[in-house]
Structure formats: C-alpha cells, structure tokens
Structure 1
Amino acid sequence: MRPATEEELAVCIRDAKGPLAIMGGGTRSIALTEGEVLSTSALRGIELYEPGALTLVALAGTPLAEIEATLAKERQRLPFEVPDMRGLLGRDGTSTIGGVVAANASGPRRVQAGACRDSLIGVRMVTGDGAIIKNGGRVMKNVTGYDLVKLVAGAWGTLGVLTEVSFKLLPVPAASATLVLRGLSDAQAVAAMSAALGSPYEVSGAAHLPGEGTFLRIEGFAASVAYRTDRLREHLAAHGTVEVEENAARWPGLRDVAAFHGRAGDVWRLSVKPSDAPAITARLGADAVQYDWGGGLIWALVPEGTDLRARLGAFQGHATRIRGQGPGAFQPEPSAIAALTQGLRAKFDPRGLFNTGLMGA
C-alpha cells in the first residue's frame, strides 16, 4: 500500500485486517517486521519553509536529499547531521524525512546540537485506529504537546504513522576546523574528547577511530573558529600533539561509519557512559570499532551471528544490532519500562498493527 494523502493513509489503517510493516525509503530499517508493507513514500513535499524564522514543515515521505538541497540554497541545515546508512547496511533507496524521525537519526553534531528529537517541534500522524492527530507546532515558541513530539522520534513507527514533521533549523557555519590527535589508546582518546567537550570552546564533533586518530571539530564564524582552535590546542597539549585540518571533509565518513563499509560481519551500536567505553570495548572482541559522541557511542564490527549482549554480560547502556540477523535487534527493556511502553502502544495502536515484533512490540 502506498497512499498518496493523509486521508488515504487513515483509510488504509482503519481497513487493515492484520499487521502493517511501516516503511519510508527503506534505508534505515534494521529488523524485519511482520505484515503488509505500508509505504509513506508518496506523502512528499515541503509544505512550509520560512528561512527567516528558521523553520521547515515537510510531509513524511519527502526525500531527505530534497530537504537538504532546499536548505542549502539559504545556507541553512538540519541541526543534527543526519547519518546516511545505505553504505553501512548495503542498501539503495531514498532516505525520507519521516524515516529520519522514526529512527531519531543523529550524527556527530549531537554532542552540541542535540538529537533529531531535540530539533523536532511538531508532528502529524495516524494512530492505530485511523485517527489523525497533531502535536506541537510550526514555530519554535509553540511547545504544545512537546512530550509526544519527543516520544515519536525513535519509536520506529510503533506508535503511529508519521505524515508531517516540523523542524527548527540552524545556519550553515561559515568555517570549520578539525583538531587531530594521533596514536592515542582508547582510554587516552576518551580522556582527550572529554576534556575538549568539557571546555568552553564549543566542540561540535568528537570521534575516535583506533589506528587513525582522534578528531575534534569546531564550527562557526571564521574568526571565532580560529580563536577557539588555538585555545583548544593549548587546552589539549597534555594529551599529545595536535594537528589541525582546515576543512570538514573527514566528518561525512565518520558520520556514516565508512570504515565498516564493504566489510563482512554484523554491526552493533552501543550507547554507554563515555567513561565506561574503553573497558566495554575491551570486552567486545570486535574486529573493528569506532567511537562517536565523545565515547558515548560505540560502533562495533563483529563476526556474523555474534550475540554481543551475551558476550558483554551486564553493563550500563544499550546495545542495538544495526546489521545482521537474529532475535532482538533492540536492547530488552527493564520490566518497569516495558510496562510503560506497552501501555503507550495500547493507547496509540490498540489493535497492535504497527511494526509487530519490532522493539519488543
């Protein structure tokens, strides 16, 4: 099913006789779901763009590339640096803005600008009984329904089918510099990234690729970038020699985990306390790892079929299988959280239609 309007979508859901597999562009899905495919790809178009107000409203099936091209003409951008997962997952297709929200897809800039949900200011969606609801607004000052706006980002379509999303935007920075430290161990790299992120120099990216380097990004007006780069170099002197790259060419590869592209094996994504990251990585037995978010995010490439949670045992954080087969792509929830989750799903999807079997649904 590929409805062309919100009303057609609502009818499809009301008339559904069994589970529905919700799909946007199909570039981010990480687990199989049961049921007939319900695509939002025909719900496309930018409905409102006000560069002066730094706001954008688009239908859920609008290609991300179309949105980024429109914003680029005004030297504006989505704040959260959307990862392109096609290389990592070995997929073609077109990423849609609804899929970005459903996955709460957020890149290296999350350490400064927040996640996708932090820039989302309004949504429209269709619930499991076919009702059309809206939440939030189209301007930054409108915070009506703020909690639900946050809730649907990262719910992977299990609470409702998004039809429209609204964002606050940011200007494209005029300049960028990347500070690089070579030869650091994982523990040394996390210490350096923590020192940088804890400084007043507004670091917008902090990543570590073992064997290649530790990377820290500064963005903004040219004079400000130059000043903050010099100060941060001094601040990090105790952590090693600091090189400076005067461009942003490295960051798309870090954002998209390009180091894993074309390599066999399963890919896991771990969200942890940065201070715990080196010890957790040592227990992974991974073929390769990459750190992002100052060590708060670990990407791990492991042999196919590896049950990484069993290998790790108990730890503080979440492990999500991004690529590979097997049960339970998402971290099992504690019983109290699982009860809350099931209550929310019963409220928004009383017939249990949406993405059955995903996220424990």
Structure 2
Amino acid sequence: MLTPGNEAELAEIIADASGPLCIQGGGTRGLGVEGDVLSTTGLSGIELYEPGALTLVVKSGTPLSEVEELLAAENQRLAFEPMDHRGLLGSEGEPTIGGVVAANVSGPRRIQAGAARDHLLGVRFADGTGQRIKNGGRVMKNVTGYDLVKLMCGAHGTLGVLTEVSLKVLPRAEAAVTVTVTGVDLPGALRAMAAALGSPFDVTGAAYDPESQIVCIRVEGFADSVDYRSARLAEELARFGRSGIAADSTVQWQGIRDVSAFHGQAGDVWRISVKPSDAVQLVPRLEAGALQFDWGGGLIWALVPEGTDLRARINVPGHATLVRASRETRARLGVFQPQPAPLAAISAGLRRQFDPKGILNPGLMG
C-alpha cells in the first residue's frame, strides 16, 4: 500500500506511476478496483476551522468521526448527513472526509439541505499526471473559472486524488422529532411524503418502510418551532393513516441513513434513483426481498438475490447503482449505471484530460 504523508509525496507517486492505482480513503466502500492501493490516510488534519464563518478546511484523509466531533463541540454539523457504509457492506476501516466528498455521499437530509457537493467550497487535488491543482476557495464569492469543485465531487477518484477540501458547515438543530403515519401502502406513502415535502413546515427527512407500512417525516429546528410544525403536520397527514409524533428520532434516522434494515442480510444491494411518482409501477418489477424508501420516494434501496441484474427490470427513467455484490457480479454488471453515448463521450474526454495515463481507478466509472 502506498501511503504518502503529504500532497507533494502523493503527486510524485502519481507522476511516477506506470500502472493502475486503486485510490482509497478509509477502505470502507470496497469497490475492488485493480491496481496498487494509494491511500490518503496519511493526509490527515484540520487546516482551518472558523465556527463563526461556518467554514472548515481539512485534509482529505482525516477521519469523518474526527470532523464530526470537532463540529459537535461547536454545536455544528455537516448538514448533508453522510452515510456510514460499514454496516451495509460488512467492511471495516474508518470513513474519511475525502472519501465522502469523492463519492458525494449524502443522507436523508439531502431533500432539504442539498448533497455533499452543495456544501463544498474548494478542493486541492493531484491529477493523473501528478500535477497539483487548487480550485474554489473558502467562501462562496469571487470564484471564477471552471468549477472543478463540483466536478471532483462524485468522480470517485477517477479525475484526481483529493488532498484537501473546504466545506460549509451549519448549526446543529436544537430539536428534532419524527411525525409518523402508520398503516399505509406504497401509493398512500408516496402521497403522504409528497404532501409533507410540499408543506410549509420545512421537512428534513421523508422515508418509508414498506414492511412495517410506516412513513417517517422529520422536522428539525428551534424547539418551539418544531413543536408547532410537527403538530400541524401530524394533523395534515392524518388523512393518509394513523399519525403520531416520536420525540427522539436521532437513532431512527441514523438507521434510515445507513440502511440498517439490510445489515447482516444475504443478497445484493442496489440503490435506485427515480421520480417518486414512478415508484409504484417500478416496485413490482424489482421482485426485491426487502425495500427502503428515502428522499420522499426518489431513492429506493433494494435487497435482491445475488447476481440479479436489476437494471434489466427497471422500466422507468432513472439509474441504479450496485452498492453490494460479489466481485464477479460487479465485473459483469458494473457498479454504476451505463451512461448515454453523448454523456459517455464527454466523460471519457474529461478522463483523458485529467488522467491521460488512465491510471486512476481505471474501469470504475466506465
């Protein structure tokens, strides 16, 4: 394993490399790319934290837990609520902030706060030639030129290896409760979640468990405001089923975020993004052993028998990512949804520009 201790060492390793490199943060995702493992864990530490300016600059290999502890001490948080994949994948290691950004990992609060890329202000990275590049800044103003910040977020290390990220952080909510609606089928659940998201009550989570037939709607903010908004929302959602309010929702939403219902269950796991209105006609075709809905029904987690080609069953617009499967299944089906030809050509062109040797996580994204 190659573990550079600073950005210069990392750039030199990439510049000298003649074969493929498997870019790895904490090693919790297990994508299984061929090549010498290049770990960013040696690039760790807080570069700048200004709580008053809601700004954090941190090296990419810094453990996510360290970042969250630092923010919690100032009553702040990463609003995009990054998922912890270890329970779902049965992996070990420690998630890093660079891994979160590289994969654009975002949790239930995405429907209200946005994705990881929406909170990313700047990046430093080394491209496939070893060139060191800085883009963006520490504030959202006076930024000119190409927006490589958004390009790097979600590229999974195929365009460059992150060495530093600048993030916007937000205050933690004073209170959080979950409004529940029980005894609803999928069509009713989708209508209930749409009503909640279309309400003026600033919902920060909308999920559904079809096994228990429970809709969960999260409301966060100042305590008095949460009490008022959740009570009004429970009244409005009562037309869809039996509504109620759960006071302590932290553990519950961590379970939704990390898809804990699938932990320890055999089978492949897929992550499907569709329009919520298309979910009703899609679900019967999936023939899944278990399902979980998030983002108001726009995100579907599906547990299916090993080796299942779930993409062949999707009859609506959307895309499906193979999150957990054997190496053979990942090689046969691909982790990511194949891109349309025009978009694939653009992506290939970007990879040639940023990684002309084709050594950064080759084959991972087409």
Q: TM-score, normalised by structure 1?
A: 0.97
Worse-matched range after superposition: 142-151 or 204-213: 142-151
Distance in 2 (alpha carbons) for counterparts of 1:358 and 1:349:
13
Q: Deviations over 1:285-334 (max 9, x none)?
A: 0000000000000000001111111233x420010100003221110000
Contact 2:157 2:360 in 1 (8 A): yes
Distance in 2 (alpha carbons) for counterparts of 1:317 and 1:62:
33
Cross-structure match for 2:356: 350
Deviation of the 1:240 alpha carbon: 1.6
Cross-structure match for 1:52: 52
Q: Which runs of 5+ in 1 are unaligned?
A: none
Q: Deviations over 1:327-361 (max 9, x none)?
A: 2111000000000100111111111110011011x
Cross-structure match for 2:346: 340
Cross-structure match for 1:214: 215
Distance in 2 (alpha carbons) for counterparts of 1:145 and 1:47:
24
Deviation of the 1:142 alpha carbon: 4.7
Letter of the aligned partner of 1:289 in structure 2?
L
Contact 2:124 2:165 in 1 (8 A): yes
SS of the residue corresponding to residue 304 of structure 1 reads coil
Distance in 2 (alpha carbons) for counterparts of 1:169 and 1:143:
19
Cross-structure match for 1:173: 173
Question: For 1:281-320, what aligned pairs fall within 5 Å after superposition?
Answer: 281-312=283-314, 314-320=315-321
Distance in 1 (alpha carbons) for counterparts of 2:136 and 2:36:
30
Q: Deviations over 1:262-281 (max 9, x none)?
A: 00000000011011112211
Q: Which runs of 5+ in 2 are unaligned?
A: none
SS of the residue corresponding to residue 365 of structure 2 reads helix
Distance in 2 (alpha carbons) for counterparts of 1:177 and 1:44:
35
Cross-structure match for 1:21: 22
Distance in 1 (alpha carbons) for counterparts of 2:204 and 2:240:
19
Contact 2:64 2:95 in 1 (8 A): yes
Contact 1:178 1:245 in 2 (8 A): yes
Distance in 2 (alpha carbons) for counterparts of 1:153 and 1:278:
31
Letter of the aligned partner of 1:90 in structure 2?
G
Deviation of the 1:211 alpha carbon: 2.4
Identity of aligned residues (%): 62
Distance in 1 (alpha carbons) for counterparts of 2:216 and 2:138:
36
Deviation of the 1:144 alpha carbon: 3.7
Deviation of the 1:24 alpha carbon: 0.4
Counterpart among 247, 256, 259 of residue 258 in structure 2: 256
Cross-structure match for 2:40: 40
2:199 maps to 1:199:
yes
Distance in 2 (alpha carbons) for counterparts of 1:209 and 1:85:
19
Question: For 1:1-361, what aligned pairs fall within 5 Å after superposition?
Answer: 1-29=2-30, 31-145=31-145, 147-212=147-212, 213-248=214-249, 249-312=251-314, 314-325=315-326, 326=329, 327=332, 328-360=334-366
Contact 1:78 1:170 in 2 (8 A): yes
Q: TM-score, normalised by structure 2?
A: 0.96
Contact 1:84 1:256 in 2 (8 A): yes
Q: Deviations over 1:42-74 (max 9, x none)?
A: 000010000000010000000000000000000
Contact 1:186 1:210 in 2 (8 A): yes
Distance in 1 (alpha carbons) for counterparts of 2:145 and 2:241:
47
Contact 1:140 1:168 in 2 (8 A): no
Distance in 2 (alpha carbons) for counterparts of 1:143 and 1:193:
37
Distance in 2 (alpha carbons) for counterparts of 1:263 and 1:61:
30
Contact 1:268 1:299 in 2 (8 A): yes
